[in-house]
Amino acid sequence: MATCDVCGKNESMPYNCRHCGGTYCSEHRLPENHNCTGLQNWNDPQGVFDSGFDDSVDSSGKTASSLSDKLPFNTGPGGPLGYFRGNMTYTFLALMWITFLAQFVTRFILAPFGSPGMTFESVLTYRSIFVLTPANPEYVWTWITSIFAHGGFMHIVFNSIVIFFFGPLVERYVGSRNFAWLFLVSGAVAGLSQISIQLLSGGVTPTTPGVLGASGAGLAIMGVLSILNPNLKVYLYFILPVPIWVIAVGYALLSVFFIGAGAAGAGGTAHAAHLVGLLIGLAYGWYVKQNRNIKTANQFQLGGGGPGGPGGPGGPGRRRF
């Protein structure tokens, strides 16, 4: 059972608005019936969403063509890519795993089967593709590729868990476009902050460890939730239920401790990247809270409004490589 945010009616099958994240009964499920905050994004003075039903039909009655119509596979809602339409969280997760596979393929190409290992030149080539390094911060493509690349199987698994459970919540609150910018900008700035500390420390060589992984973006997502919905219960390590703000504070204190001790990369973990990603999320969450009326639930939910399964961070974050 869930309670409608407008009338307080108990609903066994509530509706969750994808524009504002609220929970509503059948009477108030339409955006214009619950004063949805997403209405302001449509610039509609009457406060009614345009379905866009006739947008693809021209005056001759023929359906207007687009680039997607010319592709050899179905790109519509019922096609194989329909699951990713308007869903940047799962799009980024897919890109993470595709990049992880590309890392293995690249290693195989650079170190052919039967060879004792990659040569020094091969290592540098691999790093120039996937790793954001203090030796080559001018490789601007690594600002993005390093977000999706990971240092090992458990590394990508734990980051995927955080993004899978928390990403859809933030995306519903802020919209897919803003979520995409948050993910990419926080991930890139977090990595650049980590290598900046290494550059300031001196002694940088071509083999100085760089950073890779999506935990900077993942912690930004947690930072947004810590502001918009601080009492959201999260199962730490799938066992201990705690408010999400407690996890955010714990990550911040841990990162500050290691950075203050001059060990920003202690344990192979990019603590500076963690802290910066979290701070970006907190700042953006505060901005959203001040400028938009976001309605949130105090319970982590999956699907149509019932209690969801446990989720939470707890694994290694953005790695040094």
Q: What is the pLDDT of residues 266-277, one digit of tens each?
A: 666 778 889 999
Q: What totals of helices (H) and strands (E) does the chain contain, helices first?
A: 8, 8
| Distances in whole angstroms, Cα of residue 123 to Cα of each of 38, 108, 127, 132, 196 | 48, 12, 6, 13, 22
Q: Which is it for strands 233-236 and 240-243: parallel, antiparallel or unpaired?
A: antiparallel
| C-alpha to C-alpha distance for 112 and 106, rounded to whole angstroms | 10
Q: Which residues pair with 301 in a beta bridge?
A: 307
> What does 65-99 look like in DSSP terms, one character per residue?
P-GGGGSSS--STTSTTGGGTT-HHHHHHHHHHHH
> Which of 60-74, 242-256, 269-283 shows the lowest per-residue confidence on average (mean pLDDT)?
60-74
3-state secondary structure of 234: strand
The phi and psi torsions of 242 (rounded to 5 degrees) equal -140, 155
pTM for this one? Answer: 0.68
| C-alpha to C-alpha distance for 203 and 16, rounded to whole angstroms | 53
Query: How buried is residue 320: exposed, middle or buried, by Cβ count under 10 Å (0-12/13-18/19+)?
Result: buried
Give the model confidence (pLDDT) of 97-140 as tens digits. Answer: 999 999 999 988 887 655 666 788 888 899 999 999 999 999 99
Task: Select the more confidently predicted residue: 296 or 320.
Answer: 296
Query: How many Å separate Cα 281 from the centre of its chain?
Result: 11
